[in-house]
Structure 1
Amino acid sequence: DKSAWINRERTRWATYFSVPIIPTPPSDFPPRTLHTQRALAAVAQLAPDRLVAVQEAFYRTFWVDGDGRIAEPGCFVPVLQRVLGEEVAGRVVEAMQTPAIKALLTANTDRAFQAGAFGVPWFECTNTQGATEGFFGVDHLGQVAEFLGLERRGDLGMRALL
């Protein structure tokens, strides 16, 4: 059963990397993420220093709290307000409806497809020699680290695959 295997893999990797996650996907999985993607594109433009915090809060709402409504403005706007404050969150909500943010999301999506992305997580990495490669899945993070020349501790053996 592929869905059961995927769920076991998801929780196995989450445990390995100490990432909090609920044991089964939220009931609305997979959600339609257009609105949240637009919100993130707007945050990237208006409050880029808070982008990671917003992504983490969206993740926590969906994958830790199990709230599958994160794709709906009624759910994610309060999350934005908590992370960004009401004023900046309001500007994000306004901006996400603009042609500029819609075009930015379209351009980002087109760029991802041109780079070879076919799902998430997709990592496009450029190393110190200027070479760029794409990697798919958390099971390839070891290859990402190797490609980027990052220091890796311990016996590499089979762990080199991680």
Structure 2
Amino acid sequence: MQNDPVFKSCEVTYIPIFLGGLMKACGNTAPINITNKNFWIDRERRLWANMFNIPMKDDIPAGFPIMTLNLMRHLAALRDLDGNQTRMVELIDVLSNELWAKHTEIHKPEVFQPILQRALGATDYAKLVEAVPTKGKSLLMANTDKAFADQAFGLPWLVCTNAKGETQTFWGVDHLGVAASFMGLEKPSAGPWKSVL
């Protein structure tokens, strides 16, 4: 969303959650683990990536879905320490590219910690590491509980408020077009947006 001109006028807030915890709370199963749906969801992933020029390998990363609990605690703590989401969003871009375009095992501390340290510098990284076991843990739990209370059952989960002050939730990249329409955003009539409702 942050890189698409359709959403340039939107104030977008990214909130890290523990997806595995949300799925468990809902009694939900990862789509990739459901017979036949796994083929469909993988095909959809490649389709959307190709349509919107998102760097992504054709195959899925080894061991996917991966356990990102520790990494999400780091991102939740970073957002809190900074008082804004700028560096967190930049890191999400880096980590997403590492996972999907390079198949880097970003869920492993020995892999993601050096990425965070390079991005933040030694001093800020040390502050982050200190905050993760307490603040990062509690914030991530609160964020996940809030997502569940908002009836989320998976990601991406969008909570959108339009100019009239109306709020609606949407799930999945295939609903970005509906979310854009709800918010009164102008969608291009050509290119990948042409196929989005």
Output the TM-score relative to the length of structure 2. 0.75
Counterpart of 1:137? Answer: 172
Does 2:120 align with 1:54?
no
Any idea what SS the aligned residue of 1:71 has? Answer: coil
Counterpart of 1:114? Answer: 149
Does 2:136 align with 1:101?
yes
Does 2:57 align with 1:22?
yes
Which of structure 1's runs of 4+ aligned residues deviate more than 3 A?
158-162
Read off the aligned partner of 1:77 and give its amino acid letter. Q
For residues 102-141 of structure 1, the C-alpha deviation after alignment (integer angstroms, 9 at most, x for no partner) is 1111111011011111011111111111111110111100
Output the TM-score relative to the length of structure 1. 0.90
Counterpart of 2:23? Answer: none
Any conservation in 2 of the 1:123–1:136 contact (CA below 8 Å)?
yes
- Output the CA distance in 1 between the equivalents of 2:102 and 2:122: 22
Counterpart of 2:122? Answer: 86
Counterpart of 2:40? Answer: 5
Does 2:186 align with 1:151?
yes
- Output the CA distance in 2 between the equivalents of 1:10 and 1:137: 11
Give the total of aligned pairs: 158
- Output the CA distance in 2 between the equivalents of 1:120 and 1:46: 24
Q: Which has the higher helix share?
A: 1
Deviation at 1:161, TM superposition (A): 4.0
Any conservation in 2 of the 1:143–1:160 contact (CA below 8 Å)?
no
Any idea what SS the aligned residue of 2:73 has? Answer: helix
Read off the aligned partner of 2:141 and give its amino acid letter. T
Taking every aligned residue pair, what percent have the same amino acid on both sides? 43
- Output the CA distance in 1 between the equivalents of 2:65 and 2:126: 26
Is there any run of 5+ residues in structure 1 with no aligned partner, and where? none
Is there any run of 5+ residues in structure 2 with no aligned partner, and where? 1-35
